[in-house]
Amino acid sequence: MVLVLIIVCVLSTILSSLSSEVTNTKHLPQAIIIGVKKCGTRALLKFLSVHPAIAASSTEIHFFDSPKHFPLGLDWYRNQMPIADTKQHVTIEKTPHYFVDKRTPKRLARLLPDVKLILILRDPIIRAISDYVQIKNRHESYPTFDNFVSMENFTKWTPIRIGCYAIYLRRWLKYFPLEQIHFVDGENLIHRPWEELESVQRFLNVSNHIREEDFYFNMEKRGFPCIRQPNGCLGSSKGRQHPTISGQTREKLKHLYSNCNLQLKQLAQIDFPWL
């Protein structure tokens, strides 16, 4: 009788272990934040990571846009994901460079045709300044933002070029239907993050777990939003002071982006206040 009980206990332990391995494992993402750089991708992923039904990657994977990683295949890609229960979790990763990479839309559509795409957009002038600040932080002798925009070929400068979102979105719409892409207003994500989180949670088909009362604003970081949990604020690199740009520079960029923004409104069928 004792031997039978021991055998039953051992079998139960083995079955429990096997069950755990089946249900708690790594899966290819059901959703990907594809961009845009300096529009709040890290903030959105951090906020989503507190949802009990979402398993979020902790790093940018760079699978579809990397000549080093892509040849490693889907098994490698899956292994970079967090452990998630298939019945309870949506696995999500974010790599902002996907949005501007020419190869990614086709590759992603071929390998993960049903994946949900999240795209964060913000005022392209503010985005460009934020991009510039990040670059200048690594290069102290970098020219001023005004100096860059005064150059004859300034539209080829990466921080400026990325802001014409319609150019890149047009590529994505060749491979994905519009209803498979959710657009987040990056400006509203800073000021009223719960509104953007509500729509993202609805898009991901998870409960509205993250609400207004879960946020507070860190006035030491230019009023950036934080989520009420340990280490709920973004790192020290966020909230850097932006330089003041001249009125001439601002008008020049407004003129440049006016047509881009009009195309974006038509392609994405959105009407964010800054457009």
192 is in an annotated binding site: no
106 given a catalytic annotation: no
Sign of the four-CA dihedral 91, 81, 268, 171: negative
Closest CA to 186 of 266, 125, 115: 125
80 labeled binding residue? no
Give CA separation, 158 vs 40, 98, 100, 148, 154, in Å.
Answer: 18, 15, 11, 11, 9
Q: Is 164 annotated as a binding residue?
A: no
CB 82 within 8 A of CB 153: no
Question: Is 40 annotated among the ligand-binding residues?
Answer: yes
Is residue 223 a known part of a binding site?
no
39 labeled binding residue: yes
String of b and e for 239-273 (b: at least 16 CB within 10 Å)? eeeeeebeeebeebbeebbeebbebbeeebeeebe
Catalytic residue from among 38, 46, 94, 116: 38
46 carries a ligand binding annotation: no
Return the CA Rg of the chain: 22
Is 209 annotated for ligand binding?
Answer: no
38 marked ligand binding residue = yes
Q: Is 23 annotated as a binding residue?
A: no
Residue with tokens 């902002």: 96
CB 60 within 8 A of CB 66: no
Binding-site residues for 3'-phosphoadenylyl sulfate: 38-42, 122, 130, 238-242
Binding-site residues: 38-42, 122, 130, 238-242
Residues marked active site are found at 38
